[in-house]
């Protein structure tokens, strides 16, 4: 549990006063504390907590001690005697359920949590509750945090100081500037993430370890906004979140958190998440949510054209189908779809009548045994040819699989787009995670070279469309946003006037030339 990542400060301080024990109605505590056969762990994160830790442990109720399997104190390389005090408390109180772990290097607030959650995951626990060793959160109500999880009502539970059960945050001594800042950030995050929580910045929380097992913690921050990143991931993966009221206590602690930096980190985390799920840029802490080729919902995009050009009640071959996102759209139109891609199996496998896993770099040779018994009304090559070593072979194979009068639908990016031209004018040709200069592109096309390639491989072009630049991905706006629809409409007008300069992708509908053979 040693890390080379060092965080400058922690919020916990040896100068904090003990929180007064809250006025809590203990009736029903036995029922709340009941573990219902679940293995519950309490993770106590501590840093320089020598004056407070013993009191925190002492205030854990007998009912909770009886029902939890382990309380683990994770000392984050304290400079005081926090570790020694915790070991001494365990010895003197003769508590076998108490375990004390000391990091040799400071992992930071988020890093200490990650170490603790991995500890309980490796031991096969069901529930973990996060408790701070500085006394800021009331140990008397630990059962209130884990009860909704063991009862099957939630996957994560957050203690909220904004709820009025214990008088609210200001009555509990929260400084007005912190209250205002907390509310502003919570409103922003609720709006951005589609949440309805009263507080997103409480450090008192419980998690189902089954949920944490399915969340990638490895690249998440070691800093204070770790709590926000984990809420983002829980929300993205549709886990059930619930709040319970907790009392507020602010003593004379020295707080080392820079409020402006914390607010900046929160907004940055939300922005980076949004950027990742919109496939604009892959940020490492959220990279599992990055979709390399998301569906473009805007009018005049390649997906817009393909959906309409495919039609209904057709036998369709989608080459390079990916996870099946486009196939799900055209299947809803009554089409029968065979998919081919290098993936072992697509996420949306159910939308395909048949799926073939094969390499496409040298045509459909690896898939021909399965495909040769089919003939198709439409074959879709959507954003495929630019990724191939030998796109010509794929075009020739597709010609043999089309029915008479069948159509080949192709989209390729326009390397002559204004954005690329401007970059070249300034000496830049930088590859990216997606877009025209996607780092996986092996071939580049202009309108002229794309037409030439299609014609030379036995096809005649019957329709051509130029798509508009997907500004919604850059601006972070939904395609249905009224402003975005206005911008898209204006862009479509100018693209029609200057297709070679403003067009983002070329979309072609092609048929086999007369005299070309069909099996």
Per-residue pLDDT tens over the stretch 96-120:
999 999 999 999 999 999 999 999 9
DSSP tag of 414: B
- E strands, 228-357, in order: 241-245, 315-319, 336-341, 354-357
On whether both 371 and 474 belong to a single domain, the answer is yes
| Angstrom distance (rounded) from CA 512 to CA 376 | 13
| 230 close to 205: Cβ distance less than 8 angstroms | no
| CATH at residue 152 | 3.90.550.10
Examine residue 278 and state whether it is found in any structural domain, yes or no.
no
| Angstrom distance (rounded) from CA 177 to CA 195 | 23
pLDDT in tens, 72-99: 999 999 999 999 999 999 999 999 999 9
What average pLDDT does this structure show over 393-408? 96
Which residue range forms the structural domain that includes residue 438? 302-512
Burial of residue 103, with CB atoms counted within 10 A of its CB: 0-12 exposed, 13-18 middle, 19 or more buried: buried
Radius of gyration over every alpha carbon of the chain, rounded to an integer in angstroms: 29
Residue 264 is predicted with a pLDDT of 94
On whether both 209 and 349 belong to a single domain, the answer is no
| 295 close to 329: Cβ distance less than 8 angstroms | yes
| Angstrom distance (rounded) from CA 24 to CA 63 | 14
On whether both 247 and 307 belong to a single domain, the answer is no
List of residues 6+ apart from 77 with CB closer than 8 A: 47, 102, 103, 104, 105, 106, 107
- φ/ψ (deg, to 5) at 52: -125, -25
To the nearest 5 percent, what fractions of the chain are helix, strand and coil? 40, 20, 45
Examine residue 1 and state whether it is found in any structural domain, yes or no.
no
| 500 close to 421: Cβ distance less than 8 angstroms | no
Average pLDDT, the chain: 89
Burial of residue 496, with CB atoms counted within 10 A of its CB: 0-12 exposed, 13-18 middle, 19 or more buried: middle
Structure tokens at 107: 């992992």
Question: Measuring CA to CA, which residue among 212, 86, 60 is closest to residue 145?
Answer: 60
On whether both 201 and 319 belong to a single domain, the answer is no
Examine residue 11 and state whether it is found in any structural domain, yes or no.
no
List of residues 6+ apart from 226 with CB closer than 8 A: 109, 110, 113, 114, 220
What average pLDDT does this structure show over 241-256? 75
Examine residue 425 and state whether it is found in any structural domain, yes or no.
yes
Kindly tell me if the per-residue pLDDT of 253 is higher than 80: no
**What percent of the chain shows pLDDT beyond 90?**
77
Residue 59 vs residue 253, higher pLDDT: 59
On whether both 341 and 473 belong to a single domain, the answer is yes
Residue 516 is predicted with a pLDDT of 53
Per-residue pLDDT band at 57 (split at 50, 70, 90): very high
CA distances 498 to 208, 422, 493, 494, 502, Å, are 55, 16, 9, 6, 6
On whether both 201 and 318 belong to a single domain, the answer is no
Examine residue 24 and state whether it is found in any structural domain, yes or no.
no
Distance of CA 260 to the CA centre of its chain: 25
| Angstrom distance (rounded) from CA 128 to CA 74 | 13
| Angstrom distance (rounded) from CA 413 to CA 438 | 10
On whether both 351 and 455 belong to a single domain, the answer is yes
On whether both 114 and 193 belong to a single domain, the answer is yes
| 72 close to 43: Cβ distance less than 8 angstroms | yes
Kindly tell me if the per-residue pLDDT of 6 is higher than 90: no
The tokens 């081919």 sit on which residue? Answer: 340
What average pLDDT does this structure show over 374-400? 96
Residue 333 is predicted with a pLDDT of 94
Residue 8 is predicted with a pLDDT of 34
Final residue of a structural domain among 226, 255, 284: 255
| CATH at residue 321 | 3.40.50.150
Least confident stretch, 17-26, 322-331, 485-494: 17-26
Examine residue 286 and state whether it is found in any structural domain, yes or no.
no
pLDDT in tens, 195-228: 999 999 999 999 999 999 999 999 999 999 999 9
On whether both 245 and 324 belong to a single domain, the answer is no
Question: Measuring CA to CA, which residue among 505, 489, 486, 381 is closest to residue 436?
Answer: 505
- φ/ψ (deg, to 5) at 21: -65, 125
Per-residue pLDDT band at 484 (split at 50, 70, 90): confident
| Angstrom distance (rounded) from CA 440 to CA 432 | 9
Residue 48 is predicted with a pLDDT of 94
- φ/ψ (deg, to 5) at 43: -100, 115
Kindly tell me if the per-residue pLDDT of 16 is higher than 90: no
Residue 288 is predicted with a pLDDT of 92
Residue 22 is predicted with a pLDDT of 52
What average pLDDT does this structure show over 398-425? 96
Examine residue 293 and state whether it is found in any structural domain, yes or no.
no
Least confident stretch, 134-143, 153-162, 426-435: 426-435
Torsional sign, CA 502, 297, 232, 251: positive
3-state secondary structure of 142: helix
Residue 110 is predicted with a pLDDT of 97
On whether both 326 and 184 belong to a single domain, the answer is no
DSSP tag of 250: -
CA distances 333 to 69, 289, 336, 337, 435, Å, are 54, 28, 9, 11, 28
Examine residue 2 and state whether it is found in any structural domain, yes or no.
no
On whether both 247 and 313 belong to a single domain, the answer is no
The tokens 């949440």 sit on which residue? Answer: 195
What average pLDDT does this structure show over 163-168? 87
DSSP tag of 472: H
On whether both 43 and 109 belong to a single domain, the answer is yes
Per-residue pLDDT band at 11 (split at 50, 70, 90): very low
Domain count, the chain: 2
What average pLDDT does this structure show over 291-315? 86
Kindly tell me if the per-residue pLDDT of 154 is higher than 90: yes
Per-residue pLDDT band at 164 (split at 50, 70, 90): confident
Residue 12 is predicted with a pLDDT of 34
CA distances 183 to 164, 180, 201, 232, 242, Å, are 15, 5, 9, 17, 18
């Amino acid at each position: 549990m040693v890390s080379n990542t060092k965080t400058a400060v922690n919020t916990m301080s040896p100068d904090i006063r003990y929180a007064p024990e809250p006025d809590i109605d203990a009736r029903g505590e036995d029922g709340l504390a009941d573990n219902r056969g679940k293995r519950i762990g309490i993770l106590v994160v501590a840093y320089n907590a020598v004056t407070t830790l013993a009191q925190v442990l002492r205030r854990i109720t007998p009912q909770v001690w009886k029902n939890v399997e382990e309380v683990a104190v994770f000392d984050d390389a304290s400079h005081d005697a926090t570790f020694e005090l915790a070991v001494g408390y365990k010895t003197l109180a003769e508590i076998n359920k108490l375990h004390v772990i000391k990091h040799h290097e400071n992992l930071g607030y988020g890093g200490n949590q990650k170490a603790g959650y991995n500890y309980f995951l490796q031991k096969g626990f069901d529930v973990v509750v996060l408790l701070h060793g500085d006394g800021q959160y009331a140990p008397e109500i630990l059962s209130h945090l884990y009860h909704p999880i063991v009862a099957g009502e939630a996957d994560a539970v957050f203690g909220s100081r904004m709820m009025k059960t214990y008088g609210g945050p200001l009555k509990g001594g929260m400084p007005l500037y912190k209250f205002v800042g907390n509310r502003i950030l919570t409103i922003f995050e609720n709006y951005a993430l589609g949440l309805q929580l009263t507080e997103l910045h409480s450090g008192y929380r419980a998690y189902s370890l089954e949920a944490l097992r399915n969340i990638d913690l490895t690249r998440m921050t070691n800093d204070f906004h770790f709590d926000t990143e984990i809420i983002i991931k829980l929300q993205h993966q549709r886990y059930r979140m619930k709040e319970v009221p907790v009392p507020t206590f602010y003593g004379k602690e020295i707080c080392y958190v820079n409020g402006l930096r914390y607010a900046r980190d929160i907004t940055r985390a939300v922005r980076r998440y949004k950027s990742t799920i919109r496939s604009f840029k892959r940020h490492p802490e959220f990279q599992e949510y990055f979709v390399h080729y998301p569906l473009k919902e805007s009018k005049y995009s390649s997906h817009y054209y393909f959906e309409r050009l495919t039609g209904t009640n057709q036998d369709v071959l989608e080459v390079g189908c990916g996870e099946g996102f486009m196939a799900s759209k055209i299947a809803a139109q009554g089409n029968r779809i065979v998919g081919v891609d290098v993936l072992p199996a697509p996420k949306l496998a159910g939308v395909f009548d048949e799926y073939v896993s094969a390499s496409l770099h040298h045509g459909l040779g690896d898939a021909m045994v399965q495909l040769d018994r089919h003939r198709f009304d439409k074959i879709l090559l959507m954003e495929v040819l630019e990724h191939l070593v030998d796109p010509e072979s794929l075009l020739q194979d597709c010609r043999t699989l089309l029915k008479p009068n069948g159509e080949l639908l192709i989209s390729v990016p326009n390397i002559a787009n204004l954005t690329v031209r401007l970059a070249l004018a300034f000496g830049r040709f930088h590859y990216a995670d997606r877009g025209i200069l996607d780092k996986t592109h092996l071939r580049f096309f202009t309108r002229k070279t794309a037409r030439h390639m299609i014609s030379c491989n036995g096809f005649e072009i019957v329709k051509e469309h130029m798509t508009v630049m997907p500004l919604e991905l850059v601006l972070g706006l939904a395609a249905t946003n009224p402003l975005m629809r206005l911008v898209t409409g204006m862009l479509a007008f100018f693209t029609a006037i200057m297709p070679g300069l403003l067009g983002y992708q070329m979309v072609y509908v092609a048929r086999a030339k007369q005299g070309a053979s069909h099996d």
